Chains A and B, each alone.
Chain A
């Protein structure tokens, strides 16, 4: 009697145990990675959000005082508006030039090359983007400075020309950033351009369309998703960049990025730095939100 009663109970508990054990397996697989991300990314971001509302960093015995002052800095310190505008200008120039240079390169890569040579050229475009960004920026200082490679090359052609130095100027920052981020634009536009069906172009041509018309009416609209996602991928990190403006811009290169860096490294006004960082993050999130509405789902999936 006792045995009979025990058997079904044991079965029932083991069948309940399997899903429970699976749940534990899943949790055990996920916990280390997400625990690590929580400790190193999510908690720090929360802590910094908290800091941005403080009057002073809570070290020593200083009392916690909540304030919105740090977010009102743009009103209290008018020069910050100018700094923000410099960042946006750098972002717009870099993004615009990358689109202008990168789109034709992507179309050429997708349509004028084939097979093995296409693979090699593709790898050549992507490879520099895996070299250390800092080193590439530093190399530009050797190209752009007076007596540098650009100056030297110019004087080989025109020995009487005055010395040329682009270093520590706005164009120098933009050149360095375009160089750093151009591969993103070529990559996203290439994905769009490679997907264009040859039949559309042949149909247009057989109906008498000239090359500029084909470009404007077929190629450009179909490349638009790539252009937009490339622009986001470039604009977002560029407005947050700080080492390129510092190294290539010198005194000209005061941007939001260098302002934020200063608050943490030199001025030690962490609450202000945190508020500036979150203002920038807000701009980034708005850009992502708007673009996810504008972009068709296919592009995001890419």
Chain B
């Protein structure tokens, strides 16, 4: 029974990884029409270097992901601090308001942003993409950082203060070092959310200014372009590395953070 269960589980994992394996294999296949069997070649990786739209989209993606992480992390961490450590009316309502950006289908949020940004004159482009991505990342940051704060005992800080430490000193010497792993995890998560985001970017980008997923979508609709496999393989390696670091960090942040 147990052997059967394990075999089944491995079969499911094989199913989950099949298309990813195919993509990586095709990135190293010489044929432009994906013909089999595979003839090893690095020409698609080499072709990337001279594909200007793809390169500029990659640059935009990285830029926006870094900026999203840099903005969403402090904003979300501040909100989490207030939601976890302060008593005030309307706290549960504010918590509830974090859910719509996560639970409402991105198609609806993306089209709503398009309508509103167009109407108010904010328009589309890099700045609009940044506004959208930060908004999507904030709820995740609040949840991750909040979970990290819950595992921290507030009485440590109080003990420091009762021994003569000022609230600010107690925060920087006690709370912050213990809290840091979950903040770093949240920053990585925000980066990954932005890097992988397609739907919202699709509605907010302009033909000249797009992100990598949007550019990939455009290429897919045009037809065969094996360069997509090459760039996706690189992309995959980067986001897997980020997630592994994230998993490691949230384990450091305590068992609750890792759930």
- Chain A residues whose CB sits within 8 angstroms of the CB of B232 once the complex forms: 132, 135, 138
Q: Chain B interface secondary structure, helix, strand, loop or mixed?
A: helix
- Chain B residues whose CB sits within 8 angstroms of the CB of A149 once the complex forms: 22, 36
- Chain A residues whose CB sits within 8 angstroms of the CB of B5 once the complex forms: 104, 107-108, 111-113
Interface centre among A25, A34, A133 (most CB of B within 10 A): A34
Name B2's closest neighbour in chain A (CB-CB): A112
* Docked complex Cα distance between A169 and B88 (Å): 54
Give min CB distance, A167 to chain B, whole Å: 12
Judge whether B35 is part of the interface by a CB distance below 8 angstroms.
yes
- Chain A residues whose CB sits within 8 angstroms of the CB of B203 once the complex forms: 264-265
Contact (A264, B111) CB under 8 Å given A40-B134, A112-B2, A134-B198: yes
1/0 per position for A117-130, CB-CB distance to B under 8 A? Answer: 00001011101101
Contact (A47, B112) CB under 8 Å given A112-B2, A113-B6, A124-B13: yes
On chain A, the number of residues with a Cβ less than 8 Å from chain B's Cβ atoms is: 82
Residues of B78-94 whose CB lies within 8 A of A: 78-79, 81-83, 86, 88, 94
- Chain B residues whose CB sits within 8 angstroms of the CB of A109 once the complex forms: 9
- Chain A residues whose CB sits within 8 angstroms of the CB of B2 once the complex forms: 111-112
Contact (A26, B88) CB under 8 Å given A32-B78, A132-B235, A134-B198: yes
Q: Is A135 within 8 A of B236, CB to CB?
A: yes
The stretch that binds A, out of B102-110, B156-164, B176-184, is B102-110
Judge whether A211 is part of the interface by a CB distance below 8 angstroms.
yes
Q: Is B112 within 8 A of A45, CB to CB?
A: yes
Interface centre among B6, B115, B199, B213 (most CB of A within 10 A): B115
Contact (A236, B117) CB under 8 Å given A125-B13, A130-B192: no
Judge whether B20 is part of the interface by a CB distance below 8 angstroms.
yes
1/0 per position for A10-54, CB-CB distance to B under 8 A? Answer: 000000000000110110011011101101111111011001000
Q: Is B19 within 8 A of A136, CB to CB?
A: yes
Residues of B29-76 whose CB lies within 8 A of A: 33-37, 75-76
* Docked complex Cα distance between A43 and B97 (Å): 13
Q: Is B240 within 8 A of A130, CB to CB?
A: yes
* Docked complex Cα distance between A105 and B16 (Å): 12
Q: Is A34 within 8 A of B97, CB to CB?
A: yes
Give min CB distance, B185 to chain A, whole Å: 13
Q: Is B22 within 8 A of A139, CB to CB?
A: yes
Q: Is A134 within 8 A of B20, CB to CB?
A: no
Q: Is A44 within 8 A of B116, CB to CB?
A: yes
Q: Is A29 within 8 A of B79, CB to CB?
A: yes
- Chain B residues whose CB sits within 8 angstroms of the CB of A69 once the complex forms: none
Q: Is B235 within 8 A of A138, CB to CB?
A: no
Partner of B228 from A111, A125, A138, A270 at Cβ < 8 Å: A138
Contact (A30, B94) CB under 8 Å given A41-B109, A48-B111: yes
With A47-B115, A121-B9, A132-B213 known, 8 other A-B pairs at CB within 8 A are A30-B78, A44-B116, A125-B12, A136-B23, A139-B19, A147-B36, A270-B115, A281-B104
Chain A residues with CB under 8 Å of chain B are 22-23, 25-26, 29-30, 32-34, 36-37, 39-45, 47-48, 51, 58-59, 101, 104-105, 107-109, 111-113, 121, 123-125, 127-128, 130-136, 138-143, 147-149, 152, 179, 182-183, 186, 211, 236-237, 240-243, 246-247, 257, 260-261, 264-265, 270, 273-274, 277-278, 280-281, 284, 288
